[in-house]
C-alpha cells in the first residue's frame, strides 16, 4: 500500500521541485499536504465507502427476501385455515394464531404490524391478498396458491 502511494505521489512531487521561483516554500508544503490528503482519500476512504454501500445493499436484499418468506408462511397458514373452514379465508391474520402460526412476525426491516390480509367476502370469499405495508418493495401474494386451485 505504501509503495502504491509512493508511485502515485512521485510525479507530482517531482513537478513541485520545478515550480517557478515565485512559489514560496510554504505554498509548496500546502500543495504536498493537499496531495497527501487526496492520496489518502483515494486509497482508503473511497474503497471503504464502496464496500459499506455493497454491504448495506446485501443486507437490505436479505431482509427483503425474509419478508417474502414471511408472506409465503402466511399463505400456507391461510390455506390450512381455509381447508378447515369450508374454503373461506380468515378475516384477520390474528385468527391464525395459535392454531396455524405461533405468532405473527414483524417485518425484518423493523416495521411492526406491517402484514395485512385483504379478503373480498361478497364476491369470492376464497380469494385473498397478503401484503407487507413496509417501505420496501415486496410483491403481494394472491391466494389461493396455484397448487390448491
pLDDT tens column, 99-110: 888 888 888 877
Residue 141 CA to its chain's centroid (Å): 20
- pLDDT at position 55 is 92
Nine-digit cell string for 94:
390474528
Other CB atoms within a 10 A radius of the CB of residue 49 amount to 11
Backbone φ and ψ for 70, nearest 5 degrees, come out as: -60, -40
Q: Which residues of 22-40 are buried (b: 16+ CB within 10 A; e: fewer)?
A: eeeeeeeeebeeeeeeebe
Instruction: Report which DSSP code applies to 90.
Output: P
The answer, as to whether pTM is greater than 0.75, is: no
Q: What pLDDT, on the 0 to 100 scale, is given for residue 4? A: 56
pLDDT tens digits along 17-58: 555 555 667 777 777 777 787 787 777 777 888 888 999 899
Which range is least confidently modeled, 20-29, 65-74, 81-90? Answer: 20-29
C-alpha 11 chain-centroid distance: 42
Report the percent of the chain where pLDDT is more than 70. Answer: 71
DSSP-assigned letters across all residues of 38-62: HHHIIIIIHHHHHHHHHHHHHHHHH
Amino acid at each position: 500500500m505504501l509503495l502504491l502511494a509512493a508511485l502515485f505521489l512521485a510525479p507530482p512531487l517531482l513537478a513541485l521541485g520545478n515550480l517557478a521561483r515565485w512559489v514560496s516554500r510554504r505554498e509548496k508544503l500546502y500543495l504536498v499536504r493537499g496531495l497527501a490528503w487526496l492520496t489518502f482519500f483515494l486509497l482508503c476512504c473511497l474503497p471503504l465507502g464502496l464496500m459499506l454501500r455493497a454491504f448495506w445493499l446485501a443486507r437490505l436484499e436479505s431482509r427483503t427476501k425474509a419478508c417474502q418468506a414471511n408472506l409465503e408462511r402466511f399463505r400456507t397458514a391461510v390455506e390450512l385455515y381455509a381447508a378447515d373452514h369450508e374454503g373461506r379465508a380468515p378475516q384477520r391474520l390474528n385468527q391464525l394464531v395459535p392454531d396455524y402460526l405461533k405468532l405473527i412476525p414483524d417485518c425484518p426491516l423493523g416495521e411492526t404490524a406491517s402484514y395485512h390480509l385483504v379478503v373480498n367476502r361478497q364476491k369470492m370469499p376464497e380469494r385473498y391478498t397478503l401484503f407487507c405495508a413496509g417501505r420496501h418493495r415486496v410483491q403481494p401474494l394472491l391466494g389461493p396458491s396455484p397448487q390448491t386451485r
